[in-house]
Amino acid sequence: MHIMEGFLPVAHAAGWWAASLPFLVAGTKSLKRIVMEKPSARLLLGAAGAFVFVLSALKLPSVTGSCSHPTGTGLGAILFGPSVMSVLGCIVLLFQALLLAHGGLTTLGANTFSMAVVGPWVAYGVYRAMRGAGASLGKAVFLAAAAGDLLTYVTTAGQLAWAFPDPQGGFVGALAKFLSIFALTQLPLALAEGFLTVLIMNALKAHSADELRALDILPAGGIEQ
Amino acid sequence: MKKQTLWLIVAVLALAAVPLFLHRNSGDGETFAGADGQAEEAITKINPSYTPWFKPIFEPPSGEIECALFALQAALGAGFIGYYFGLRKGRGQKAA
């Protein structure tokens, strides 16, 4: 999902920066509030960021014969809400842009929008909807993380198709091309991200239930199945 | 619970291993190239006249160094997660 440095026209690069900025501002406020009001959750917040670090560094082979990576933003979005992940995701993308020439500074706005805005909001929305409909924690976490992962890559495909419409097929033609590169490759990886996020949520349930109760993931005082 | 953990790990490993098996005979050097790079190629095909207007400030001088930096990224994340669970587990045992 990394759009390479300089690979978006100036107007698009600037536009995506402008689109991401409000989320980064809101995320910074949300981050401050969590650190102030829930000091016991600070370490878990760090762990949620660390999860993004690990997963976005793992380039895995896919059935399409190409490689891509999960994002890891679903976990933090479920635990702390989607705003916070805009900031944490952007930090990871900045690290990769500066040290790995992976993504870039001009495309950081667009990449932040796909991985750190759309992904976390989709994950959060799916999680809330599933829980509201009475789904178990495991099922909700799996679907939320997988959907956030997949939609991140669909967003990237849309961003590229918008910037580079096909001479014949226009936006739709280009979208089909970019979706075939990103979305198909990402399908199995999205499942992997869903499984990994359930895995770590189970570990949190076993060893960090107090924090999950403080964040309303587990009901206060009760034991959730 | 323990059984579920095992199945989750098996599922993730299978998702990573099956593609390797499916494409085991297509060793044309392009197999398992990064999707980001393929998108870059697609852009150049759609719009051959497009020239990137900004270059990365720093690029890893070789693939090995790039790997090292990716490993560093993963290690930092995994290290912190290990620290977190170690701490929580230790506290749980102390309280018990």
Domain ranges of chain B: 60-96
In the numeric block, which tokens belong to residue B81? 């997660």
In the numeric block, which tokens belong to residue A86? 């805009």
Residue A5 lies in a domain: no
Helix axes A137-163, B35-46, angle to 10 degrees: 30
At residue A225, the pLDDT reads: 46
Q: Which residues of B touch A185 (CB under 8 A)?
A: 35
> Which domain CATH number covers A152?
1.10.1760.20
Residue A181 lies in a domain: yes
Average pLDDT over residues A50-78: 96
Residue A131 lies in a domain: yes
- pLDDT tens-place string over residues B64-95: 999 999 999 999 999 999 999 999 999 878 77
- Under an 8 A CB cutoff, do B35 and A188 touch? no
- Under an 8 A CB cutoff, do B34 and A68 touch? yes
Residue A224 lies in a domain: no
Check CB contact of A94 with chain B, cutoff 8 Å: no
Residue span of the structural domain in which A118 resides: 10-214
Given a cut of 60, whether residue A223 has pLDDT beyond it is: no
Residue A225 lies in a domain: no
Check CB contact of A4 with chain B, cutoff 8 Å: yes
Residue A95 lies in a domain: yes
At residue A167, the pLDDT reads: 95
Q: Which residues of B touch A98 (CB under 8 A)?
A: 57-58
Residue A195 lies in a domain: yes
Q: How many structural domains is chain A composed of?
A: 1
- pLDDT tens-place string over residues A111-120: 999 999 999 9
Residue A10, judged by CB atoms within 10 A of its CB (0-12, 13-18, 19+), counts as exposed
Task: Round the average pLDDT of chain A to a whole number and report it.
Answer: 95
